[in-house]
Amino acid sequence: MNELAGKHIVLGLSGGVACYKSAELCRALIKEGATVQVVMTEAAAQFITPVTMQALSNRPVYGSQWDAREANNMPHINLSREADAVLIAPCSADFIARLAQGRADELLSLLCLARPAQQVPLLLAPAMNREMWAHPATQRNLAQVAQDSATVLAVGNGDQACGETGDGRMLEPAELLEEVIAFFTPKVLAGQKVLVTAGPTFEAIDPVRGITNHSSGKMGFAIARAAREAGAEVTLVAGPVHLSTPRGVQRINVQSAQNMLETVMHKAQAATVFIATAAVADWRPATQADQKIKKDGSGQTPVLGFVENPDILATVAQSQHALVGDLFCVGFAAESHDLLAHATAKRARKGVPLLVGNIGPATFGQDDNALLLVDAHGHRELPRASKRTLARQLVAEIAMRLPR
């Protein structure tokens, strides 16, 4: 999608086994449109060669503060002035200690110190053995570099190269890419607590059967991701879907409409924005059998009765929290025709300030969609695009409508 188009990133590698992931990370950054200048410490070059990193970044790698290729012989100044961000991945325990002390006796730490900190942010992707990670000295140094305005990314948990298991693994390249994209996203939802419902619900008939629908959850998951990137604290209440949770989002899995309602009512109390993208089943079986309903060979079919499910969106929109204006509610409408008329009517019926219409058959399971936004002032179309793009546009539209 070229989400990093126009960004120039200095990718710094310090020593650690995780250097093998930096090759993949370099490719991923470039694939998203960034230009990447690799700088390696001497220790990093023990783990992966500058040749590999040069080939992947299509630029000569820098490794020495005495590099005479620069006309003024000041690679630390030149490299740091042209960057939109410096990303150290992997960032070793030793390198964190060096940053905490402001040391400058090799190129990478020198350029970190010499960078104009207000304009060129520093992102660190730590990677080390779990004992090194947990050591008070490392934690003390991390707190110091964070206070000095570095952004310290999380570490993963799992098997380590040394054979031990625990915290300290560098995030995977795809996760780091998500973090870099999120870092550059304008924080239009900073301070907001966003609650999103997504996916279908599953209404059980008996322990092995139930009623559900074709909602994939993609739109809701994309919205949750975009809201988090925009700086919100995000809770995603998801029906049964097989999608991975966006980074930094709290996900709560539910099954039925009633489960979803209970979870949403609980979480809505602290939320400032509620976005209902879930395709909630309108009805559920009136009774749920405790045991599997058996076919008895007589040819007789079971008779199923139904009761209507609660309307989660309307219930939340009528809660005191929303009525006093502390919770901005956004509904969705999946229609097959006359989108504007139906979306306008639905907005009034649900009592929400913003209703987002889409054509159901054209969106279920697809990666792209088109949206029609209806509010008190009229309507606006967001033309066909990927759900990722639409989610980002919708987040911007919601941010514009929030009370200042």
309 binds ligand C5P (CB under 6 A): yes
> Of 26, 91, 112, 162, which residue is the catalytic one?
162
Beta-bridge partners for 151: 123
Any contact of residue 322 with ligand C5P (CB under 6 A)? no
User: Quick one: 257 or 391, whose CB is closer to ligand C5P?
Assistant: 257
CB-nearer residue toward ligand C5P: 22 or 309: 309
* Site membership for ligand C5P, residue 271 (CB under 6 A): no
The smaller minimum CB distance to ligand C5P, of residues 97 and 354, is found at 354
236 makes contact with ligand C5P (CB under 6 A): no
162 catalytic residue (yes or no): yes
We find the least distance from the C-beta atom of residue 310 to ligand C5P, in angstroms, to be: 6
Residue 125 touches ligand C5P, criterion: CB under 6 A: no
Q: Which stretch binds ligand C5P (CB under 6 A): 77-85, 246-254, 272-280, 381-389?
A: 272-280
Q: Which of 93, 280, 317, 394 binds ligand C5P (CB under 6 A)?
A: 280
Q: Using CB under 6 A, which of the segments 109-117, 127-135, 171-179, 271-279 binds ligand C5P? A: 271-279
CB of 10 to ligand C5P, least distance (A): 44
Query: Which residue, 142 or 276, has its beta carbon nearer to ligand C5P?
Result: 276
> Shortest distance, CB of residue 184 to ligand C5P, whole angstroms?
30
Task: Work out how close the CB of 332 gets to ligand C5P at its nearest, in angstroms, rounded to a whole number.
Answer: 4
* Residue 247 Cβ vs ligand C5P, minimum distance, rounded to whole Å: 24
Nearer to ligand C5P, 98 or 342 (CB): 342
Nearer to ligand C5P, 82 or 308 (CB): 308
Site for ligand C5P in 323-382 (CB under 6 A): 331-333
**Count of chain residues binding ligand C5P (CB under 6 A):** 13
- SS3 readout for the chain: CCCCCCCEEEEEECCCCCHHHHHHHHHHHHHCCCEEEEEECCCHHHHCCHHHHHHHHCCCCECCCCCCCCCCCCHHHHHHHCCCEEEEEEECHHHHHHHHHCCCCCHHHHHHHHCCCCCCCEEEEECCCHHHHHCHHHHHHHHHHHHCCCEECCCEEEECCCCCEEEEECCCHHHHHHHHHHHHCCCCCCCCEEEEEECECCEEEECCEEECCCCCCHHHHHHHHHHHHCCCEEEEEECCCCCCCCCCCEEEECCCHHHHHHHHHHHHCCCCEEEECCECCCEEECCCCCCCCCCCCCCCCCCCCEEECCCHHHHHHCCHHHHCCCCEEEEEEEECCCHHHHHHHHHHHHCCCEEEEEEHHHHCCCCEEEEEEEECCEEEEEEEEEHHHHHHHHHHHHHHHCCC
Which are the catalytic amino acids? 162
Q: Which residues bind ligand C5P (CB under 6 A)?
A: 197, 257, 276-278, 280, 309, 311-313, 331-333
